[in-house]
Amino acid sequence: MAPISFTFRTTAVGRARLGTLITRHGSVDTPQFMPVGTQATVKSLTPADLRTAGTQIILANTYHLSLRPGHERIARLGGLHRFMAWDEPILTDSGGFQVFSLAHLGLVDDDGVTFASHLDGSSQRLTPERAVQIQEALGSDIAMAFDQLVDSTLSAAEVAIAMERTHRWAERCLAARTRSDQALFGIVQGGVDAELRRQSIGAIAALPFDGIAIGGLSVGEGKAEMEATLDVVADALGHDPRVRYLMGVGSPLDFFTAVERGIDLFDCVLPTRVARNGQAWTSEGRINLRNARFLDDPAPLDPTCDCEACRNHSRAYLAHLFRAEELLAYRLASVHNVTYTLDLMRRIRGALADGSFASLQDTVSARWKRRDEVR
């Protein structure tokens, strides 16, 4: 039996799809957003918080968990789901992103990457085989292939080198699998170069992955380039029936852009990271709770939201908590932003179903483009 199954129907909105991804820990309605829980926790949120917010699947990280507490330890303790008390779907990233974000600590060669651990400086080696081994030990529902993403400002030749390496690593990841109950997704690279993207899709989609991820976007390229690249991706994937995951995206407006182009899954640190830094995502746009004007504001973060923060607390209270650096600030803002993001995805699914996608997109765009005017 396949580790996951994905069924979907196309909609009247561009290439957008409505689907259901079924894993052994439950099903996921798509398009869907995965909160990021790098270190086996979505920062500041309990599993109960996540469930209440409507979370169906979360993302955790191979590199971080292998360093601490160690994937063998997690395996001994019953696997990642049990370890973190999240009995619902989990996708693990392969550590490929750390090759990018921690590049100055390591060296990439054709076999893999050698890192100085960011924790203690010890030498660490990550290869496609090891990334698969770690993810199998963690026991996530979906594992990601080990890839190399690169700065979009690099030359096409340099992007191509990393892309071709990613393709070879993809085959090695597939060959390294030993579990039949864990899905493995391939990752398309190629930067913002249309021809390289086509090549990458040709290479990755030809392999027997359970899903196709689009990597290397939202790393500094412009909106127009991301749109154009997603168009190329959609064209090249054609009728490929597998679930499509756009890695590391994104902001509310990005979701519309990508859903229209056939993306089914997203993950992003933004909702939780910006929450900890004082920013709330609301139906009126983004607000910075550290701004002085909220100190006397008795309104909830978002009058249309039903999360714990909005039901019980005022902007003034949150503004106070952030100034006082009280821990509750981070939790309440995170509860809200995750709720907002998952609500938005649900509304997007509803809008795809009833034909109101364009209208919803217009409503959200108006608020998010005019954030300077948001109270």
Question: Which residues are designated catalytic?
Answer: 93, 267
Q: Is 98 in the site for RNA (CB under 7 A)?
A: yes
Which one of the spans 9-17, 34-42, 176-184, 200-208 is the region binding RNA (CB under 7 A)?
Answer: 34-42
Both structure tokens of 105: 């600590």
Q: Which residues lie below 8 Å from residue 233, measured CB to CB, with a gap of 6+?
A: 188, 197, 201, 214, 244, 261, 262
Paired with 151 in beta bridges are none
> What's the half-sphere exposure (Cβ side, CA atoms, 13 Å) at 298?
0
Residue type, 91: L
* CB nearer to RNA: pick between 19 and 186: 186
Closer residue to RNA (CB): 10 or 133? 133
Q: Kindly state the number of chain residues that form the binding site for RNA, as judged by CB under 7 A.
A: 59
When the beta carbons of 10 and 102 are compared against RNA, the nearer one is 102
Single residue of 18, 21, 40, 42 touching RNA by CB under 7 A: 42
Instruction: Give the x/- contact pattern for RNA in 174-213, rule: CB under 7 A.
Output: -------------x-x-----------------------x
Q: CB of 368: closest distance to RNA in angstroms?
A: 11
DSSP, collapsed to helix, strand or coil, labels residue 40 as coil
Choose the stretch contacting RNA; rule: CB under 7 A; options: 73-81, 229-237, 243-251, 347-355.
243-251
Q: What are the distances in angstroms from CA 19 to CA 114, 218, 259?
A: 39, 24, 12
Please identify, among the stretches 9-17, 80-88, 170-178, 276-284, the one whose residues bind RNA according to the rule CB under 7 A.
276-284
Question: Taking CB under 7 A as the rule, which mask of x and - marks residues 323-362 in contact with RNA?
Answer: x-x-x--x--------------------------------
Q: Of 167, 221, 166, give the one whose Cα is nearest residue 194.
A: 221
Peptide bond into 35 cis (omega under 30): no
Q: How far apart are CA 150 and CA 162, in angstroms?
A: 7
**Residue 43 tokens, joined:** 């920062």
Q: Which two tokens stand for residue 156?
A: 């096409």
Tell me the C-alpha distance between 157 and 177, whole Å. Answer: 31
Nearer to RNA, 93 or 164 (CB): 93
What element of type H or E holds 345? helix 327-354
Q: What is the C-alpha to C-alpha distance for residues 76 and 14, in angstroms, rounded to an integer?
A: 47
Q: Is 126 in the site for RNA (CB under 7 A)?
A: no
Residue numbers 306-325 binding RNA by CB under 7 A: 323, 325
| DSSP codes, 108-177 | E-SS-EEEE-TTT--EEEE-HHHHHHHHHHHT-SEEE-------TTS-HHHHHHHHHHHHHHHHHHHHH-
Stretch that binds RNA, among 23-31, 168-176, 277-285, 356-364 (CB under 7 A): 277-285
User: Per CB under 7 A, does 46 bind RNA?
Assistant: no
User: Given candidates 199, 251, 341, 361, which one binds RNA under the rule CB under 7 A?
Assistant: 251
Copy the structure tokens of residue 250: 């994104």
To RNA, the closest distance from the beta carbon of 134 in angstroms equals: 14
Residues that bind RNA (CB under 7 A): 36-39, 42-43, 59, 61, 64, 93-94, 96-98, 100-102, 104-105, 118-119, 144, 147, 149, 187, 189, 213, 215-216, 218-219, 247-251, 254, 267-270, 272-274, 276-279, 286, 288, 290-293, 295, 323, 325, 327, 330
